[in-house]
A and B are shown apart, each in its own frame.
Chain A
Amino acid sequence: MTLIRRGTMAAAAMALGLTITACGGSLTQDNSGGDSSGTIKLGMLTPLTGSSAAIGPYMKDGAQLAVDEINAKGGVDGRKLSLTVEDEACDPKTAAAGAAKLVSAGIDISVGGYCSSATLPTLSIFGKAHIPMLIPAANSADLVSQKQQNVFLLNGTGIQQAEAASKFIKAAGSKGVALVDDNTSYSTDITKRTEEGLKQSGVEVVNHQSVTAGESDYSGAINAVLDSKADFIYWTGYYQEGGLLIKQLKAAGYKGEIMVADGSVDAKLIQIAGQKNAQGVFATMTQTPQTIPGGEAWVAKYKEKFGSEPGPYSTQAYDAVRVAAEAVRKAGSTDGQAVTSALEQIDGLEIFSGPLKFTAQHTLSAGGFDILVVRDDNFVLNK
C-alpha cells in the first residue's frame, strides 16, 4: 500500500511539473493533436537498471522486432514506426521521470510498463498528454481501477491470474494454503485476490507471509509457513527470490506443492532453486510462444535477430506494438482521442493471447492464464 501511495504522490508532483513543460512544448510541436504524416513515435518504459533490469532487453527486443517487421512491410499508411526506450528501474520516481522524458520527446503511443508500482505514477503523466498507453506487462488491477480512458492492459490482470490460481489449487485438493508475496503492488494484488477466491471456494488459507525482495535468507517466513502445516504454497513475487524460496523450503524439509506466479516464470528460477528442487513446481502464466501451438516460428525469428531466446514479456511487447500500429491504421492519425477510440473498437486482431477485444475496463477479454510445470530445465504446459 505504501508503495502505491508514494507512487501517487510522485505522480502528482510530476504531473505538476509536467503541465508546465507540456505547455511549453505545445508551442513548437503539438504531440497531443496528432497528425497523419511523419514517423509514428512509440515510447517504452521498461526496467534497464535496478532489480528487474534483466527484463528490459526482452521487452525492448520484442517491441523492436514488431517495429522492424511493420517497417519492412512499408509501415502504417506509408508512415514508419520508431521506438524510444526509457528506463523504468521498477521504481516510481525513475518511471515518472522517464515518462516525462518520453512525453517531451513527442511520442504518440506508449507501449511500455513492467512493474505495476512503477507504472502507476506514469498513468496521469501520459493521461495529461493524451497519449494512449498499451501496457504489455504490468497487470495490477490498480492500473485499471483509476478508470483512465487512455489505459489498456495487454497482459491478463491480477484478477485473472488469481482466478486461475484458486481454480487450480482447489482442483489439486489442498487442505491448507500458504500465500507468500514480496510486498510489491503486483504481488500483493495477486495474493489478496487469491485469498478471496480460495475462501469462496472453501479452501482454507492457513498462512500469509510477505518477504523483502533483495534479501537472501527467508528462514523466518519459511519457519512460519511450515508451522502452519500448509500443503500448498503460492509465491507471487519475482524469480530471483522465488528460486531462493523454493531452495530453502526444500532444505527445510517441505514436502507439499509449490506454485509461482508469472513474475517467476524464467529458466533462472530453476537454476537458482536447483534443478532437483524445482521439479514439479507449478506456475500461473500468460500464454507465451513457448506454450502456444505454432509459436516456434516466432521464437526462431526472434533468435535469429537477437541471438538469444525471447524472455518474459517479449511477446506482450511485440503485441503492444502491433496493436498500436493497428489502432493508428484504423484511426487514420496519431491523435490520442482517435487512437483510444480505435483501440476500444478493435475486434478480433490475432495476438498471442488470442483474438483481441478489450473489455469495458480496457483489459483482455480472452486469453488468460495457463498452468505450467517445471520439467527438467524448463517450464512446460501442465497437461
Chain B
Amino acid sequence: MDHFAQLVLSGLFVGSFYALVALGYSMVYGIIKLLNFAHGDIYMLGAFAGFTVLSVGAGALGGGFFALITIMIVAMIATGTFGMVLERTAYRPLRSAPRLSVLITAVGASFALEYGIAVAFGPTPEVYQIGIHGGTLDLAGARMTYAQLAMMAIAVVLMIALDTLVRKTRSGRAMRAISQDPKACLLMGINVDRVISRTFFLGSALAGAAGVMAGAYYGKIDFLMGFIIGLKAFTAAVIGGIGNLRGAVLGAVVLGLLESFGVAYLGSEWRDVFAFGFLILFLTVRPTGLLGERVTERV
C-alpha cells in the first residue's frame, strides 16, 4: 500500500476530466431525457477548437498559463454554440418523436462530428504546442506535477461555478423546473426552448473546456479522442445517478479511483473490464445511482 497516495491522486486527476464531461451528459439527460451520445465528440471538438486558436494566434498568445485560459474560453464559447446549434437542428425537431429516434440521431451526430473533423484536420493526431511546465510536487510520497494541479484546480472552479449557477440563479431555477415537468413550465410562462438551449450551451462548454485541458496536458489530440471518454463519462453519470449534477461529479471521482486501483492490483488490461463490470454490478444493486432519486410512477 506504499503507493496509496499516488493511486488516489491519479484517480482524482482522471476523475476530474470525467466529471467535466459527465456533467454535460447529466444536464442534458436531466432536462430532456436524452442520452446525447455526441457529447464525447464535443469534448473532441473543444480540443480542436483550442488547437485552431493556438495555431492561428500562437505568436500573440505565448505558451503559458495565460494562453491556456484564453484558448479555453474561446473553445468553450465555440463548443457551447455548437451544442446549441446541434440541439436546434438535430434534436429539437425530434422532441416529440419516439425516444429511440433521437438516440439514433445522437449517434449519427457523433459520427458526423468525428469524421467531419477527420476530413478537416486529417486523420493523424495533432500536437498542442502548449504545455504547463514546471516541477513536480511531493504530496505524502506521491508525485504530482504543477500541470496536473492546475488542471484539477480549473476543473474544480468550473464545477463550483456551474453548481452556483444551477442552484442560485433564475435560469438555474428554470432548468430545475423543466427537468421536473416541462409542460407545467410552459404553462407558467417559461420559455422552455430557450432554457434547453442554454443547458446545451453550458454542458457543451464544459466538455469543450475538458477537451482543451486534455490537449494541453496530454499534448496529443485526434478525431476519435471523444469516444472512450464519452463512454466513461456516461458511466460516471449513471453511477452518480443520471440527471443529478453533484452525482455526476461523485460518480466521476468514484470511477477514476476505481480505475486507478483496479489497474494497480489487476494490471492495466483490466481497466475497462473493471470500470464497466462495476457499472453492471452497481446498477443491479442501486439502479438509480449513488445520488439518484427514486422515481415513483405517477398514476
A residues contacting B by CB (< 8 A) are 49-51, 53-54, 183, 209-212, 214-221, 223-224, 227, 240, 243-244, 247, 251-253, 268, 271-272, 274
Contact = CB atoms under 8 A, between A and B. Distances in A.
Interface in B28-78: none
- Most A CB contacts (10 A, CB to CB) among B6, B10, B218 go to B218
Given A49-B118, A217-B14, A272 B269 contact: no
A224 B145 CA distance: 18
A215 B10 contact: no
A107 B218 CA distance: 43
Contact of A216 (B6, B220, B259): B220
B272 A240 contact: no
Nearest to B214: A216
Contacts of B227: 214
A251 B228 CA distance: 23
A343 to B, nearest CB: 32
B271 interface: yes
Contacts of B145: 251
A220 B123 CA distance: 27
Contact of A219 (B10, B136, B267): B10
Contact of A240 (B3, B222, B271): B222
Nearest to A251: B145
Question: Interface range on chain B: under 10, 10 to 19, 20 to 34, or 35 or more?
Answer: 35 or more
Contacts of A251: 136, 145
A219 B260 contact: yes
Contact of B127 (A54, A211, A271): A271
B59 to A, nearest CB: 19
A150 B14 CA distance: 48
B219 A53 contact: no
B270 to A, nearest CB: 9
Contact of B14 (A183, A211, A219, A243): A219
A212 B272 contact: yes
A223 B7 contact: yes
Given A220-B259, A227-B3, A247-B219, A253 B136 contact: yes
A215 B115 CA distance: 18
A220 B264 CA distance: 6
Contacts of B7: 223
Contacts of B3: 223, 227
B124 interface: yes
Interface of B: 3, 6-7, 10, 13-14, 17, 115, 118, 122-125, 127, 131, 136, 143, 145, 214, 218-220, 222, 224-225, 227-228, 259-260, 262-264, 267-269, 271-272
A235 to B, nearest CB: 13
Given A210-B267, A218-B268, A224-B267, 8 more contacts: A54-B122, A212-B271, A212-B272, A216-B225, A220-B264, A224-B268, A243-B220, A272-B125
Contact of A214 (B224, B260, B264, B267): B224
Nearest to B273: A212
18 contacts: A50-B224, A53-B118, A54-B122, A211-B269, A214-B228, A215-B271, A216-B218, A217-B17, A219-B14, A219-B260, A220-B259, A223-B264, A224-B264, A227-B3, A247-B218, A247-B219, A251-B145, A274-B219
Contacts of B115: 49
Contacts of B6: 223
Contacts of A224: 263-264, 267-268
Contacts of A227: 3
A211 B125 contact: no
- Most A CB contacts (10 A, CB to CB) among B225, B227, B267, B268 go to B268
A21 to B, nearest CB: 28
Nearest to A211: B268
A51 B7 CA distance: 29
Contacts of A51: 224
Contacts of A219: 10, 13-14, 260
Contacts of A274: 131, 219
Given A49-B123, A212-B228, A215-B228, A220 B220 contact: no
Nearest to A208: B267
Contact of A268 (B125, B228, B260): B125
- Most A CB contacts (10 A, CB to CB) among B260, B263, B272 go to B263
A251 B146 CA distance: 11
Contacts of A218: 268
A49 B123 CA distance: 8
A111 B211 CA distance: 39
A221 B265 CA distance: 11
B31 to A, nearest CB: 29
Given A214-B227, A272-B125, A272-B220, A220 B260 contact: yes
B220 A240 contact: yes
B268 A244 contact: no
A356 B204 CA distance: 56
- Most A CB contacts (10 A, CB to CB) among B115, B219, B224 go to B219
B127 A209 contact: no
